[in-house]
Amino acid sequence: MNSDKRIHPVGRLVLFLLMVGIIVIGYQAYRWFNGQGRRAPQVFAWLRDPQSYQHWAVKSGQRCGAVPFAMPTDGFIGFLWGDSFRPGHRHQGLDIFGGEALNQTPVIAAYPGYLSRLPDWKSSIIIRIPDDPLMPSRQIWTYYTHMADQEGNSYIVPEFPAGTHEVFVEAGTLLGYQGNFSGDPNNPVGIHLHFSIVKDDGRGKFQNELEFSNTIDPSPYLGLPVNAEENQGDIPVCPTVVESS
């Protein structure tokens, strides 16, 4: 008697899902090793010896060509918009590592706007930009965080105390200094600035910056390749302009 070697429909479904899972995991691993997998060793190298890698650094106030935003701080842009630190997570902005001690590397406003700091914000401020310079019909927000030590002692300048609401600042205004506050005193982050561009909710408020979909690719605003989908390991620095004699 011939045995029926056909795969049961449930078995076919399980096999199909297993194959899809393998493909997804393989694709994510490929992306990680070609993007963040290259960037993580670069970050560790910078943190160990920033003086040896100054050619990786951007400068506070620098503009890469005819772009609207100035660099908000000095340092190495180690992690990009869209990097993945764990399955299902995508980084909402840029991590810029100054390479100095706590409370040493200044943070400035990248673009003019109206600054607010919520009453419980120890390390963060947000600036409302009524007219997006690349899309004037919409309002956007720039978000700056980690400006405190691991215990939550703020490095934001005294001019912007907790509870500050809608204070106009020019581009280049000093906001504070890089810190390592994470919200957990036992698990501080490396000393850096996290900078992101946040969408408006359509009612004049900023959306939740923790959701990647609520943020905007900073690349065209800064003139740098800081989209992790497109940058697979290059150091994002302004192109060197060679002057003609």
> Quick check: 108 and 58 in contact, CB under 8 A?
no
Buried b (16+ CB within 10 A) or exposed e, 91-114: bbbbbbbbbeebbebbbbbbbbbe
Q: What is residue 83's predicted lDDT score, i.e. its pLDDT? A: 94
Domain ranges of the chain: 9-222
Q: What is residue 88's predicted lDDT score, i.e. its pLDDT? A: 72
Residues of the chain with pLDDT under 70: 1-37, 241-245
Q: What is residue 33's predicted lDDT score, i.e. its pLDDT? A: 44
Domain 9-222 CATH (choose: 3.40.50.10490, 3.40.50.460, 2.70.70.10, 3.40.710.10): 2.70.70.10
Q: Give the three-class secondary structure for 15.
A: helix
Residue whose C-alpha is closest to residue 115's, from 49, 231, 54, 206: 206
Distance of CA 34 to the CA centre of its chain: 18
Query: How confident is the model over 44-65, as pLDDT tens digits?
Result: 999 999 999 999 999 999 999 9
Q: Report CA-CA distances (Å) from 18 to 15, 22, 32, 118.
A: 5, 6, 21, 46
Q: What span, in angstroms and rounded, lies between the C-alpha atoms of 218 and 179?
A: 22
Q: What is residue 195's predicted lDDT score, i.e. its pLDDT? A: 98
Q: What span, in angstroms and rounded, lies between the C-alpha atoms of 215 and 219?
A: 12
Q: What is residue 36's predicted lDDT score, i.e. its pLDDT? A: 55
Query: How confident is the model over 89-130, as pLDDT tens digits?
Result: 899 999 999 999 999 999 999 999 999 999 999 999 999 999
Residues 6 or more apart whose CB falls under 8 angstroms from that of 136 comprise none
The predicted model scores a pTM of 0.84
